Amino acid sequence: MCIKRFRDELTLVSGLIAAAIILAVGVAFYFTGDEPGKWLALGAGVIFFALFSFVLVSSWPSQEIRRMRILIGLLILNLLALLALPPHLDVFVVLFFVLSVTAASMFDEREWPWWLAGFAVITIAFFLWRDHSLDGLLSALIYIAGFYFFAIFARSLTEARQAETEIKRLYEQLQVYARQVEEMTVIEERNRMAREMHDNVGHRLTVAAVQLEAAQKIIDRDPQRAKEVVGVVREQVLAALDDLRGTVAALRSPVEEDMALDAALQRLGRSFQQATAINVSLSLPPAIPADIPASHRKAIYRAAQETLTNVHRHARAQHVWMHLTQADEEMMLIVEDDGQGMQGRSSASTGGFGLRSLQERARQLDGDFHLEPRTPRGSRAVFMIRWQQLVP
């Protein structure tokens, strides 16, 4: 059950002003006409305004629902006392308007209609008792329609505020989840790099060590054979060094975490080209929007890293083209090469950890990733993500 006081100061002040004006008009009548109950009317009016002010400006936790009901009940009793004073002014019935707004704002959807029904019953009883005619009933129905209208308006405003609060809470929770995803992504990237280093560089260096040991054993009796073995070992070491340079170049992060996406991609392309001797052509949009979330910028950069690593390891390409396009709240990275095509390369759905992680990352960001053949030769990797601005 949700109990909310008026948080908007304008609404709170408006309620207090409305109650003060209604009470002032009603009580002033008693003093103008020198009615015998003028001091009772003044006292009841002051008590009503004090209680009503206390209800509005106080913050009530959910466990104080009983106390809130008691206070609203005291307001109703006070209002009945004002209505009972001769000459039974119907101006005090208008106070049910502010009470309807209060009940609709502070009680949940299961309870506030019952308060509204109680106000309606009191209003009908008052007019029938005072007027003893159908005209009184018609007047009561007009007031009741007003109660309902103001209550519905107040309830809609309250639900809008609650929805805004919930959106803010979800937005903050989404930010927490995004940070957790980034942390998990970093861990996954480290694990992947460790496996790649073990499978590629580690394997080549292990083979080289075994061959060097064999060359050491035969160097005295067969120098020529040992020389050939050393030559093979040299090729293995150079290949391992080439793999190491390519992997490090493709997975190198920007110097600064907040580096602009275009600058980060340009730096990545230059580093990759210097390390692998594969030409890189980069095409960027004229202006990259500043409202792209950090998680999405990082995803684009990681996709470029992974696809360049895949090209270096499998494509045997001479040239790579990277195209970044952006439209509305959608961004697409296309990486093409002129290598051997899909032969010996993995699709996104059946490939290694790197390609599968790109596909999962794209899905998390409402996007897609796929690898396809390129005409006339080579392959094309397409990484697309979407985002939507959330205003807390």
Tens of pLDDT along the chain (392 residues) come to: 344 444 455 666 777 888 888 888 888 888 886 667 788 888 888 888 888 888 877 654 444 777 888 888 888 888 888 888 888 788 888 888 888 888 888 888 888 889 999 989 998 988 888 888 777 788 888 888 988 998 888 888 878 877 888 888 888 888 788 777 767 776 776 776 777 676 667 767 777 787 788 888 888 888 888 888 788 878 878 777 777 766 666 555 544 445 688 888 888 888 888 877 889 999 998 888 777 787 888 889 888 988 888 888 788 889 999 999 988 788 999 999 998 876 655 555 445 566 777 888 888 888 999 999 988 889 999 999 987 654 44
Sketch the domain layout of the chain as residue ranges: 9-171, 258-392
What is the structure's pLDDT at 10?
Answer: 61
Other beta carbons within 10 angstroms of residue 116's beta carbon come to 22
**Per-residue pLDDT, 59:** 52
Q: Which amino acid is at 318?
A: Q
Q: What pLDDT sits at residue 320?
A: 95
pLDDT of residue 3: 40
Give the pLDDT confidence score for residue 63 in this predicted structure.
45
**How far is 315 from 282, CA to CA, in rounded Å?**
18
Query: What is the per-residue pLDDT for 382?
Result: 94
Q: Residue 228 has what pLDDT?
A: 82
Q: Which two tokens stand for residue 29?
A: 């009548």
Non-local (6+) Cβ contacts of 36 within 8 A are: 86
CATH of domain 258-392: 3.30.565.10
